[in-house]
Structures are given as C-alpha cells and as structure tokens.
Amino acid sequence: MSTLPRSWITPLALCAAAALTPPAPGQEKGQPRPAPDDVAHWQGTMKAGPREVTLVLNIRRDDKGVIRSATMDSPDEGLEGLALDSFKLADGKLSFGLKISGAKYEGKLSEDGKEAVGTWSQRGAKLPLTFRPTKAPKPVPKIVGPEQLWEGKLELGGGLKLRLVFHVGKAADGTPIAKMDSPDQGAKGLKVDSVAVDKASLKFELKALQGTYEGKLNADGTEAEGTWTQFGAKYPLNLKKTEKASETRRPQTPKGPFPYKSIDVSYMNKAGGVTLAGTLTVPQGAGPFPAALFITGSGAQDRDETLFEHRPFLVLADALAKRGVAALRVDDRGVGGSTGDTLKSTAEDTVGDVLAGIEFLKSRKEVDPARIGLVGHSEGGIIAPMVAARSKDVAFIVLMAGTGLPGDEIVYLQGRAILKNLGADEATQERTTELQRQLFGIVRAEKDEEAADAKVHAAMKAYLGTLPEDQRKAAEASEGVMETRLKLVRTPWFRDFMDRDPRPILAKVACPVLALIGEKDLQVPPKENLAEIEKALKSGGNTRFTARELPGLNHLFQTCKTGSLSEYNELEETLAPTAIATITDWIAETTAAKAR
C-alpha cells in the first residue's frame, strides 16, 4: 500500500522481502515431496548480488512420462515445495513461472538434454541461471518436538513496525535449529543458518538475507533487547518469549467462490518497453460493463496494493464487481508479472503504463469503452489527473488521498504531522523540516550521484550533531532506516515527485472527479490538499466534482484512532465500509448517468 512518499517517511522493509522466493500465505509448509523414485531433480545456483542462492526443481511424471507436477525448493532460504506455473521441459526449452513471487525462468536445453542455460527474471532484475540434473536433495531440516517462540517488532521509523518471529528448537539428530517468519510480509519458515541461545543472549544469522540478530536477555530469560543488522544497516529489535505467535486477521479479504469472473491478464506498454500483468474482474451478466483501472501509490506495489497482508485494491475490486463494475488491478513495474523497475521510473512512465491499460480495456468485449475510469490511491491520485488531462477515453477519476500541493510541500507537511503524532515538540518538527529543505536543495542542484551522496551524508551528519543527546542516540540506533531514506531520496522517482505540482494538471481535467481524504490522514493532510484540489478543478471550469473529508479514517482509509502509521498493521479493517460505499455508489451513479 502506498506510504507517500515512501522513500522519505516509511522506507520499504529490508527483511523477508529480500528473499528471492517468499512463500505465499497458506503455502508456507510447502507441498508434500513426492516419493523419490517418481521424481527427477534439477539444480542450479544463482548469484544474486553478494550472495548465492541454490534452487532445486522437483519434476514428477506419470507412468507414461507425462509431467504431472513441478515444484521448487530453495534450501538456502529453508523453503520447500513451491508450486511452479506453466512448467515446460520440452522442445529444447526449460521454462516456468513462480506466481507467488512474480519470478520467471526461461532456459535453452543442450543437445543432450542435460543442461538448461537461461535467465531468472524477477522484479525487473535478470540473472543468469543454469540448471543440471542432480540426485534427490536432502530434505530441509525441521524442528522436532517442543520449540521456543520469540517475537518482536522491527522499528522501521515513523511509527511503522514489522513483526518478526523466531522458532527455536532441535532437529531429529538433536542439532539446534531455527526458522524465522515475517508475518506482515507473508513470509514463513525462512532458514536460520546459525543459532546461539544461552542464559545471557540470543544470536541468529540468516545468510540468504545477510541478516543477523544479537540480543541481551533479561534476568529471567523472557525478553531480549538487541539489534537486527542487514546489509550493514542496524535496526532496533526487542524479542519476547511467547507461547503463541500473534495472529494477523484480515476479515475483509474476499474469499471464493466469487459471483464474478477473475481473469489474469497481461499487455504491453510498447512505448515504455515493459509488459504489465494484472487481474481483470468482470461482473456476472450481460456486458459491456463500466470499468475502473486502479493505480497504486508510491513505491513498488503489487496489483492488490498489499501492505501488512491488507489487500485494499482486491477488497475494492470485489465490491465494484458486485455493483456491476469491472476492475483492472495491475502490478507495478518490476513487481509480480510486470517487467521494468519502479524506482528507476518517473510519473511520466507511469502515465504511459496507465494509458496502455486503458487501450487494453478498450480491446475487451466485456468493457464499455465509453465508461472507463481511473481509481488512484496516494501517488496514484497524482497520476490519474495526468492521464485524464491528456486522454478523452477517461470517463471519471477517483482520487483516494490524492494530493493538491507540490511534492516537497507534501513531504514537509507529512513529516511535521507524523512527528507531532509521535509527540515531538515544535522545535524538533522545525529542525526536521529544515533538514528536508537542505537535502532537497542538494538533490535538485547536484546531478552527479556520488557528489550528491557525499553532500547528503554530510548534511545528515551535521544535523545529527544539533540534536539533544537522547534524540541523536535514537537516530543513530536506527541507522538502517536513515540510510534507506538517504538512498531513496536520490532516486529518479523522488527527484520527479519532489517538484511535481498537481494543480495545473487538475485544472485541465474535464471528466467527473471524486476526491476523498481521511480526516486523520497524516501523510496527505486533508484540509490543505482538498482545498487546493477543489480550487484547481474550479479554475479549469470543472463543476462535476465531489471533494470530501471522510471522518475518522487514515491514509489507508481504515477506521482509526490517531492516524499513526503503526495502526496500519494493528487494525484488522482493510477499508472502512463508509469509504467502500462512497466510492462504489459514486462510480455506479456516474457511469449509469453516462450510459443514459
């Protein structure tokens, strides 16, 4: 889900997301491994950055030699039985997809059929990978008997936290082993390479993630205060021993069977040179239907805009389908089945992707080409007006926490609002805003990446020197959060976002507009932004708009208490019923009027 701008306030978690093949929810235990005499195995080792990852394919055939199933293990990550899609080992090719992580492999078989040389593609990256037949691999060790559970929350900054759970026990031969879960990212059973638990400390190492944890135990051995280190960056992490790991409930996530069609699709943005993958939901009955194309917020998002196992775009698409409106949800560049790289792209690139999506919808017989609209959340609420201003094919737009102010002003307001929510005084808020202005000035003026990096770090070091000792130590303890922000603030995406003013574009939008912001939104403050959106639309002569502040809702349109980023994960609600009703009612009424 969007955390606009994610690169400044809430950077992407570096933990289980670094795993190449995280298991899907409900699949963490893998599929049962078939009997060895029914299975052929192929093994390959891929160099992913500074680490090597071994992958093993398990191919089961029937008595006639026809492939019945294919799964993959990633022993270095402690993962087994990951289901492979569209598996092919014939006609001189070895190819498959791994839907749960959006990865694909395509290889060319040697003449003797004993080697496949090809490429592993995932999140925009392309890595060479060669598979060869091998003996049956050793099964991944499992905990036998009682286990200890240690759970804690990784501090990511801005009040945002990520749960980690360590399972500690013994293998069948008595060797101490452990597994790690990152429940909020849907990753479970990640391999822990080394375990050290004594009366004074806890120590874990995960080589595949380049992560380590070291914690000092309290007197009764029930809590550990320590640090998670990954890629050289450090994050505070305190663990508590527990009888049962906390559960994540997402009761609004739709579950089948569904009263509508759900179709996996893909199409090209030829001008951008990328393939975009998504899901089209089509209502029951006779079409053609009105349709909404969803646009995600900042950062690399999947088609459901998944965050902490909340899937808001899936929830909204489900509600629209039941109201007779089709919906197209699309993976961002470099995510899932889409190619490219989100962080190397700009708003103009995203506009091109959306325009390609509109052309795709126009080609579908289930969709009425005269009733295609856009639903954009957060940064998606900036992109939607850009598309509507240049395409007559856009029949309506919905801006969910879209902005009405330039990017840098949004960041200043957002930073102050979040700090205030965390209890910071006015002086701290002002110092932070001044630092942001200084950093943005460097990024604007210095185009050389190395020079910009040096100047940004020098400015940060000087800023830390002005802080009271307790605040300075807290900032230094969260070194990983700080470093991630400093890197992402120099990306092409952020450079573009920083100076983008949505108001001139909004003035050119002629179609109906629904602009919604939650009353407790700390990332896109409602009063300042709704006022500017309304003013810009009026200046262009658009009278067909509704701008509304929704009481009690946060940036993700959840019913909340404070709007704090920490609530995003804590709340079970994915989308408030009032938000769902407001959006679906307005789209249904707007498209019905256009049909008449």
End-to-end Cα spacing for the chain: 35
pLDDT of residue 9: 24
Q: How many helices (H) and strands (E) does the chain have?
A: 13, 26
The per-residue pLDDT for range 160-183, each reduced to its tens digit, is 788 999 999 999 999 999 999 988
DSSP string over 513-528: EEEEEETT-SSS-HHH
pLDDT of residue 14: 28
Cβ–Cβ < 8 Å for 277, 331: yes
Instruction: Give the up-direction half-sphere exposure of residue 220: CA atoms within 13 A in the CB hemisphere.
Output: 3
pLDDT of residue 263: 94
CB atoms within 10 A of CB 446: 16
pLDDT of residue 269: 96
pLDDT of residue 49: 61
Cβ–Cβ < 8 Å for 33, 45: no
Residue 108 reports pLDDT greater than 70: yes
Cβ–Cβ < 8 Å for 532, 545: no
Residue 30 reports pLDDT greater than 60: no
pLDDT of residue 478: 59
pLDDT of residue 82: 86
Q: pLDDT category, 421, cuts 50, 70, 90?
A: confident
Could you tell me what percent of the chain has a pLDDT over 90?
55
Q: pLDDT category, 24, cuts 50, 70, 90?
A: very low
Average pLDDT, the chain: 86
Tokens 């929830």 map to which residue? 315
Q: pLDDT category, 29, cuts 50, 70, 90?
A: very low
Please report the sign of the dihedral spanned by the C-alpha atoms of residue 524, residue 525, residue 530, residue 535.
Answer: negative
Residue at 70: amino acid letter: A
Angle at 70 between CA 68 and CA 74, to 5 degrees: 160
The per-residue pLDDT for range 487-523, each reduced to its tens digit, is 777 777 788 888 899 999 999 999 999 999 999 999 9
Main-chain phi, psi angles of 409, to 5 degrees: -65, -35
To which H or E segment does residue 356 belong?
helix 347-362
Angstrom distance (rounded) from CA 58 to CA 47? 21
Residue-range domains of the chain with CATH = 1-20+141-248 (2.40.160), 34-134 (2.40.128.120), 263-406+500-595 (3.40.50.1820), 413-497 (no CATH)
Question: Which residues in 174-198 are b (16+ Cβ under 10 Å) and which e?
Answer: eeebbbbbbbbbbbbbbbbbebebe
**What separation in angstroms does the CA of 467 have from each of 27, 91, 252, 463, 475?**
47, 65, 43, 7, 9
| β-bridge partners, 269 | 274
pLDDT of residue 35: 44
More confident residue, 164 or 51: 164
pLDDT of residue 100: 67
Cβ–Cβ < 8 Å for 320, 581: no
Top mean pLDDT of 138-147, 294-303, 356-365 is at 356-365
Say which range, 35-49, 159-173, 257-271, 299-313, has the weakest mean pLDDT.
Answer: 35-49
More confident residue, 254 or 491: 254
Residue 22 reports pLDDT greater than 60: no
If you average pLDDT over residues 81-104, what whole number do you get?
85
pTM of the model: 0.77
Angstrom distance (rounded) from CA 405 to CA 389? 17
The per-residue pLDDT for range 519-542, each reduced to its tens digit, is 999 999 999 999 999 999 999 999
Say which range, 96-100, 105-109, 403-407, has the weakest mean pLDDT.
Answer: 96-100
Q: pLDDT category, 18, cuts 50, 70, 90?
A: very low
